[in-house]
Amino acid sequence: MLNLRKRKEEVAQRRQAEKIRSETQKQYKRPRDGEQTSDGAVSGPQTDGDVSAIVRLFQQRRAENERQEAAPPPPVTAPVASVSHKCLQMDFTSLEEDLAHVPVSIHFSSGTDLHNFVVRIHPPTGCWAGGEFDFLFNVPPTYRFDPPKVRCITKPIYHPNISPDGDVCLSILREAWSPVMNIQACIFGLLYLFHEPNSSDPLNHEAGELMATNPAAFRERVRRSLMQQRRTIF
């Protein structure tokens, strides 16, 4: 295997030397032995100087190839804005007008990072009225083909469709998501959870069962959770 590789390298070097020799002869073409030159003189045999010129040219080409191979690759520059970033820019532009009429605010940890932010919801009516609930959004690079990941970071929370750890049971964040949806759809879906909680398909089974069997006791548990509530934001 090594002999075959060495032989291939020797053949490649020989071909390269022949190519350089041919180029050199074209560049420094001289008449064959016995032929007259332009000034009427008769040319003699090829001298050692001609061979040295070919060798020097070969060495220069080889050194140039080695420098090119040793040079570091050019840096890869990131695109100015990804597709998901542009989609988010459009989402937030349209949200500026929509959020003026709903009890929702958006908080960014960085002015340039649109993929991570907190949505704060202030339910105006229902069991959770008067509370403030923060939802952490993490938008993947594949948005809008894939939905954002959303967690409730307000603790404690007592809700049939939100687990004590903050997981959210909302169909549009899972199987019902489609590329035509956007951040606005997610926010209004979260608002709807506080307006119409679903006890028939709970994520917090205890809260779902209590809501279905004893609404008064459920409201009391929610009230106590609001009193103990502590927010965590960036």
Residues 47-66: tens digit of each pLDDT:
555 556 666 766 777 777 67
Q: Is 193 exposed, middle or buried (0-12, 13-18, 19+ CB in 10 A)?
A: buried
The pTM assigned to this predicted structure is 0.65
Q: Which of 87, 127, 152, 169 is catalytic?
A: 169
Tally of CB atoms within 10 A around 161: 22
Tally of CB atoms within 10 A around 156: 12
Give dist(CA 61, CA 52) in Å, integer: 14
pLDDT at 137 exceeding the cut of 90: yes
Give dist(CA 172, CA 118) in Å, integer: 18
* Active site (annotated) includes residue 169: yes
